[in-house]
Structures are given as structure tokens and as C-alpha cells.
Amino acid sequence: MAPSGPGSVRRRCRRALYWIPVVFISLLLGWSYYAYAVQLCIVSMENIGEQVVCLMAYHLLFAMFVWSYWKTIFTLPMNPSKEFHLSYAEKELLEREPRGEAHQEVLRRAAKDLPIYTRTMSGAIRYCDRCQLIKPDRCHHCSVCDKCILKMDHHCPWVNNCVGFSNYKFFLLFLAYSLLYCVFIAATDLQYFVKFWTNGLPDTQAKFHIMFLFFAAAMFSVSLSSLFGYHCWLVSKNKSTLEAFRSPVFRHGTDKNGFSLGFSKNMRQVFGDEKKYWLLPIFSSLGDGCSFPTCLVNQDPEQPSTPAGLNSTAKNPENHQFPAKPLRESQSHLLTDSQSWTESSTNPGKCKAGMSNPALSMENET
């Protein structure tokens, strides 16, 4: 076993430091449990009925908060599948080719059968030099995790994890339950907080727990409400935080609504089809994170004609045109809810996920 050098020690120290925010939240949560369940409910509340109701509601919110927080932290971010990695021969070819058109031609050939539509600002194939793979749509490289993350939203220090396709639903529920947790504590603690300032509480250590508990709950409620509201808006528009700051680029140009399918379908893409799982931190998001239905608001003039049964003049957000592209089965069913897709005069063998991407094929020909 090779001895660990200075670089390895630094990496370990850095990884340990990344856990400080998580430890802080855990300690704060532990103190809030003691302050509310013991000092407020058991010590300060005199009405037995009020004690029972508050403790039952509190423990339900506490359990959902901890469950969703745990899932957000320990759900590993998903990385691109093997089909997006270059073969050994393609890597060698890339190393030999200088940066420029020849370099892009190698990437275009490698991406020909992949379900990708987004490009760089210059119109080039999105390629990660560090991971040596073609980036799927909505995938980005995280400098902290040092890997490409599917549908990356952001790297969150409070969970010491990347928030992306695999745990975005858990992150939303974590925000929702933490907000409910703080609002519930502030609301039920308010009358005792008032008593603290009017000298209506007995002179015990519970007084200070009640005061600081209300301040902490009220402060976090304000910050969490704005953050949760922002992410609800992102879900309604089918955007990630990165896409909100920098709109995705397609062949026809930048399109901030390129992935929006309408409010209902946008919600289902994150939470799934079965509503019974929406409020539980159980993975139910649609798709595989590598391919997404797109909604081209400004139709690409180089795109082939729309499939039969698709109304090209529809202006309803639920009925935008969808480009012909190889979508995963779990994602393409979103399109068939309101559109009828039929295949005419095509080879059945090309209907599989590996069929040629028309946009990229045309690019190779020009």
C-alpha cells in the first residue's frame, strides 16, 4: 500500500471540513428537539391535551424532516452512463486532433446516436475533458465532487452533496419539511415567548430555551420560505438553478424554456406519476437523467418536419413542438399524453433508443 502524500492528507482534511455545515444542522436539530419536546411541551405546557397534540404533530414533522434530509445527504449523485464515455480509439483520436473543427468532427461522430440536443455557447458538442465523456443534456461537471452530475442543480454545502437528478425531489422535500418544522415551532411557541417578556413563565432554564427556540425558528422560516419558493418556481418552469442563471443552448440558439412541458408535466418529471409518493422521500422521478423531452419554442429550421399527428401551429405551452430525438421510454411517455406519435415508412430497427439523432446526422452532412 502506497504511503499517503501531502496531497492525500489535504484531500482528507478538505472532505472533513465539508461535513461541518451538516454537523452544525444536526446539532441545531438535536437542540431544537430537546428545547421543544422537553423544555416547552413537558416542562412548560400545563394542559395535557395541548401537550399530546403538539408532541404528536411535532414528531411527525421531525421524522419527515430527518428522513428527507438523510436521503438528500446520502443519495449518491448519478453520473452519465457508459454510452456517453468515449471509446479508447475515440480518445486517442481526440488527443491527436488539434482543437477546432477536426476535434469537433470526432465528437459529432461519437454523439451521432446519443440523445443530446444542448450545445455550448459556440454551438459545439458539450464535452468534459476531465471525465472524458460527452455531456448529456442538463449534465454539468461539479468542481467539488470532481465528476459530471446528471441534471445538476447545484452543490449544496448544507447537505455536503450535489443536488441533481437522483436527489432533487429529496432536496425539495427537505426544504418543505424544514419550513413546516420551523413554522410549526414558531407558531406553537409564540404564546410562551410572549409570556417570557411579560414575566408569565416560572424562573427556570426553560425560559431561555423557549426564547432562543422562537428566534431560531422564526429566522429559519424566513430564509427557508424564500429558498423553497424559488425552487417551486424552478420546478414549475422545469429549470435547474444553473439553467435559471444561464439558459440552455440548442441548435437553434439559447432557449430559456427549452425543457418546459407545461406545469403538470414539469411537476410529474420531478415527482413522478403516482401522487401517493409525492410527499415521501422515495425516488419517483421520471426518466434516467440522461435524456429529456425538449420543447423548442423557436423551431430549428434545420429540424426535419414534425411527426404525423403533431400540430405545428399549436401555441399552447402543453402542445409545443417536440424535436424528433431518441428519448428513453420512461421520458417519451410524457409526450404521448397530449400528442399522438406515429411512425410512418420507417425501419422498425431504428425505433430503438440507439437510433440516429436527426439533428446531429444533418450536422455531419454539412
Report which of 334, 319, 310, 324 is spatially closest to residue 357, judged by C-alpha positions: 324
Q: Could you give the count of Cα atoms lying within 13 Å of 177 in the half-sphere of its Cβ?
A: 27
State in Å, rounded, how far the first CA of the chain is from the last one: 53
HSE-up (13 A, CA, CB side) for residue 339: 27
- Across-strand partners of 162? 155
Which cell numbers hold the place of 158?
A: 448544507
Q: Please classify residue 100 by burial: count the beta carbons closer than 10 Å to its beta carbon, then call 0-12 exposed, 13-18 middle and 19+ buried.
A: exposed
Residue type, 26: S
Question: What Å distances lie between residue 137 and 111, 150, 225, 279, CA to CA?
Answer: 12, 8, 30, 27
Q: Which of 54, 131, 148, 156 is catalytic?
A: 156
Q: Rounded distance, CA 338 to CA 316, Å?
A: 11
Q: What's the burial of 212, exposed, middle or buried (CB within 10 Å: 0-12/13-18/19+)? A: middle
User: How many CB atoms sit inside 10 A of residue 106's CB?
Assistant: 18
Q: Please tell me the distance from the alpha carbon of residue 168 to that of residue 166, in angstroms, as a whole number.
A: 6
Query: How far is Cα of residue 114 from the mean position of the Cα atoms in its chain?
Result: 22
Q: Say if residues 282 and 127 touch (Cβ distance below 8 Å).
A: no
For residues 127 and 107, the answer to whether their CB atoms sit within 8 Å is: yes
- Set of cell numbers at residue 137: 443534456
Q: Are strands 161-163 and 249-250 parallel, antiparallel or unpaired?
A: unpaired
The yes-or-no answer on residue 156 being catalytic is yes
Nearest to 189 by CA among 30, 67, 69, 57: 57
Cell numbers at 146, concatenated: 470532481
Active site positions, annotated: 156
